Structure 1
């Protein structure tokens, strides 16, 4: 038997299999990194790494062996979570900001949300649509979307208020309504910007309403901010509010028209309704954003939500409910549909949609 020189080439089918395997490996590495970061956060290591320190100091604080610390820190370094300065190791600047007390959304909440999503994605494929999120998971989601009141959010909401003259009524002591207020992130920012205003937030789930009330107390604004654990469809106030914000992405399609009718009745004539265009299709070519958008669409539609309506489509929803169109405004928070309760009989209204 003689040996000859020959080259073994992978078949096209084998190359395709290898490409798919490489992609799966990439996804798996990301999930593993999240699991490690979650474990580090639960073990209380992240606050220890807020300031650079030696391995010996970390060993004393954590009780772990040097070999174990080195193994964990090697992975955290590779993922940009920590950085080394000589013999000292600490959080990288970006993760230090994310773990700080003034972070808009805390890392613990973000990690809880990242841990929760795969389960809901699996359910969205395997389970019938329309199953609501559990209250525990809804609270996790509310914390991530609502965030905390921080100096940075105050600046952002001040820019928003300056861009929207409709909010001037709050400066003079007007009443604002937040429908689906979650943990009251937006509501509390507006309450602090407009210290003469009175704000009411409606939240359906008790645990989320309790968290919102806790944040109200922490900021000392209980006398002018009220959180109600209430289904908006049961709100019976009429002509009681000057402005309303509706967290429309989180309301099922089946009740949207009825919710708008309740808000219309609750606003004073000339009162303003604002709705945010929260999800925007990504630019062509941005594959990471496109994947995230597609997954969000799957999750929201599975729970019976209308996903990613444009501001113009939100205006049309409002018009169908009896509102009068004001405009579509470009703001620091994206595009907002702005409508108002008519001051004139409906038959004499002229809808005037304009885009800024």
Structure 2
């Protein structure tokens, strides 16, 4: 290869890298823009059709700037425009009060993760995670009880693990590391006979959880404990338990599983979800970023369903089965009879 050919090849390689960076820049810009407009109230205002003049008055921006912003939002699938401007059906569903996880939660998590991955390159210490950050994470991963969530559970989840509703009808339910208790509050709304205990370590998260429990009117059936799960001391008391395993650091996992084993009655079942299956090539870039953050927070990342089953069996559980659900694979283990 001649020197000129070598230079042209290097130019082409640099061009490919510039194209990749441009795609990152485009994503960062629209994320920043939608976040700013959310903060200015646009995403709430545009749940109803608005004329450009009305939107201009609402925003306080020059008419041409508003028109340009609408063009950008339309090009990215956020709004539709014609005689009026309003959110697309997809974004209207994301903004709605009954969204499983709403736009505010998604954008707040994006800000947290962007800040966190930058810290990973700048500071050798464990990545920071304040109580406020933990609440953002809990809201963005736990979901909330609503008619939408109940429909998801009825159609896509509970038929695939029928053991759970059967046990709820007859036994108490334990939610370990509940976060905002999206699962427990949803199940409480669906099953009037549910009697549950939810355990959350972080007071700021627990305060939001209690607010949701009270708002749904299930505080007489869901008891929230703000404590280290390892210290929970009820024995032989529950027929079913769920463990939010992705949020438990390695040094706490064995003792937490041992607590759950004691808390379940003989034959009681623990449900554990595989959260990060190994991705295909298309999903690998996002997967690597999530792994960077999780491991920086000191949380084991990506145990498979088989790993989770082995972890539970090691402390005395028996494997019932690994169920394939529309929410991913679920490990069912039980306390021996």
Q: Please, what TM-score do these two structures have when normalized by structure 2? A: 0.94
Tell me the SS of whatever aligns to 2:314. helix
2:169 — aligned with what?
171
- 1:263-318: CA deviation from partner (whole Å, max 9, x where unpaired): 1111111111010011112224x2xx211111111111222222111111111001
141, 146, 150: which one pairs with 1:150? 146
Is the 1:130–1:302 Cα contact (8 Å) retained in structure 2? yes
Q: Following superposition of structure 1 onto structure 2, how do residues 1-356 of structure 1 map, counting pairs within 5 Å?
A: 11-85=8-82, 87-128=83-124, 130-131=126-127, 133-159=129-155, 160-167=157-164, 168-172=166-170, 174-284=171-281, 286=282, 289-343=283-337
Residue 254 of structure 1 and its aligned partner are, at CA, apart by: 1.6
**Distance in 1 between residues matched to 2:290 and 2:297, nearest whole Å:** 11
Q: Aligned partners of 2:220, 2:17: CA distance in 1, in Å?
A: 58
1:9 CA displacement:
11
CA distance in 2, matches of 1:147, 1:254: 27
Question: Which secondary structure state, in structure 2, belongs to the residue aligned with residue 177 of structure 1?
Answer: strand
Between the aligned partners of 1:194 and 1:91, the Cα distance in structure 2 is 34
Contact 2:261 2:317 in 1 (8 A): yes
Deviation at 1:104, TM superposition (A): 1.1
Separation of aligned partners in 1, 2:6 and 2:81: 43
Contiguous gaps of at least 5 residues in structure 2 = none
- CA separation of 1:259/1:129 partners in 2, compared to 1, >3 Å: closer, same or farther? farther
C-alpha spacing 1:9/1:233, structure 2 compared with 1 (3 Å):
closer
Q: C-alpha distance in 2, partners of 1:51/1:179?
A: 40
For 1:105-152, what per-residue CA distance to the aligned partner results, in whole angstroms no more than 9, with x for missing partners? Answer: 111111111111122112233333644511111100100101121222
Distance 2:125 2:319 in 1: 33
RMSD of aligned alpha carbons: 1.8
CA distance in 2, matches of 1:233, 1:125: 33
SS at match of 1:11: helix
Cα distance change of structure 1 residues 8 and 260 upon mapping to structure 2, 3 Å threshold: closer
Counterpart for residue 4 of structure 1? none
Change (3 A) 1:240 1:130: farther
Instruction: State which drifts further: 36-45 or 96-105.
Output: 96-105
Alignment check: 8 A CA contact 2:35 2:107 kept: yes
Give me the whole-angstrom Cα distance separating, in 1, the residues matched to 2:297 and 2:44: 37
Contact 1:300 1:307 in 2 (8 A): yes
Runs of 4+ residues over 6 Å off in structure 1: 7-10
